[in-house]
Amino acid sequence: MVEVQNVTKAFGDVIAVSDVSFTVGPGVTALLGPNGAGKSTLFRVLCGLTPPTDGAVRVLGEDARRHRDVRGRIGLVPQQDMLFDRLSALQFVELAAMTHGVSDAADAAVRMLGHVELDPDEPKMVGAYSKGMRQRVKLAAALVNDPDVLILDEPLTGLDPVQRNRMIDLFHNLGESGKCVLVSSHVLDEVARLGSKVLVIAQGRLAATGDYRALRNLMDDRPHRIKIGVDDARTFAAALIERGLVDGASVRGPSVVIDTGDIDTFGRAVAGVSKELDTRLREVVPLDDDLESVFRYLVERR
């Protein structure tokens, strides 16, 4: 349903997306990446909102930028927060329906607002809505034309946990009904619940694709860097190397910084080594456990 072939998008000297290729079919696919990784730019290219600098994109076999009718089969939740602030939620979603050529626009708008748990009779203008409510208005507008391809850029931002769960269920239902649902997120746990198909993008490049569990294992198996605070750092570092528990170690003041590819074995052994040497273990702190480090590793290993 969505084909991306060697797509590069540059803004002047800045390359936002670099030589990305993938194909996505029906079901929910999560696009995971840190902020600034190029997720929104990639979605904009998919929708035809901006042309690729190089490569080609096909949604339902067409270029949405040039082909009018295919635009009617796409639903987009853009990342930007602006709405027509002087419309009520019902007016906004009804407008989306009408501009999509939906015949029973008012009924469709009421139905979609119900799906996202907003009151269609609420007279307040969307400009006065909270972030989470605006997000749900955008979602209702994206669904109102019953699109075949749904592109949702960080759609869970601003929602409370209950709403998140309901929206994730809604995405799954849409995916199971044969729609192609592409959802971006920078939160790993969110992606875990979104779907088993994952595309990881970092620094504008596709860092990994495939099943979420395989990806999670890959992330867990990556080399780790850990700082250990001990009373006698030099002796402790030598003991770790001697026992083959680390790939490398360096003493930095009162601490040892180690690299290991087997975090589980190291974790089980470190307290025992401390006891054996009769030295006090003050702290064990992972230095690269943030998502950025995980993405960097995935990019570098390719």
Partner 1 sequence: MTRSVPPARAVALTHRLLMRQLVTRGRIGALLALGAIVLIVSAAVGASDEVDDRLEAGVQVMANVGFTLVVPVVALVFATAALGDTREDGTLVYLWLRPMDRAPVVIGAWLAAITVSLPIIVVPLTVAAALTRGGNTLVGATVLAAVVGVLAYSAVFLLLGLVLRNSIVWGIGYVILWEGVLASFFSFAAKLAIRGYTRSIITAQTEVDLDLGDLSLAAGVIVPLLVTGAALALSTARLGNLDVA
Q: Under the rule (CB under 8 A), what is the footprint of partner 1?
A: 44, 47-51, 64, 68-69, 71-74, 76, 78, 80-84, 86-87, 95-96, 98-102, 141, 145-146
Q: Comparing C-alpha atoms, which of 300, 295, 301, 297 is closest to residue 38? A: 295
CA pair distance 105, 140, nearest whole angstrom: 12
212 in Cβ contact with 58 (< 8 Å): no
- Give min distance, CB of 41 to partner 1, in A: 11
- Give min distance, CB of 102 to partner 1, in A: 7
Q: Each residue of 204-218: b (16+ CB within 10 Å) or e?
A: bbbbbbeebeebeeb
For the chain, the straight-line distance linking the first and the last C-alpha, in angstroms and rounded, comes to 26
Give the distance from CA 4 to its chain's centroid.
Answer: 18
In the complex with partner 1, which residue's Cβ is closer, 77 or 228? 77
- Give min distance, CB of 137 to partner 1, in A: 11
In the complex with partner 1, which residue's Cβ is closer, 60 or 241? 60
CA pair distance 140, 155, nearest whole angstrom: 11
In the complex with partner 1, which residue's Cβ is closer, 65 or 225? 65
In the complex with partner 1, which residue's Cβ is closer, 174 or 299? 174
In the complex with partner 1, which residue's Cβ is closer, 53 or 235? 53
Q: Where are the alpha helices (DSSP H) in 100-186?
A: 105-115, 131-143, 161-176
In the complex with partner 1, which residue's Cβ is closer, 101 or 114? 101
- Stated as kind and residue range, the H or E segment containing 54 is strand 54-59
- Give min distance, CB of 189 to partner 1, in A: 28
- Give min distance, CB of 11 to partner 1, in A: 9
- Give min distance, CB of 40 to partner 1, in A: 10
Q: Pairing state of beta strands 248-252 and 197-202?
A: unpaired
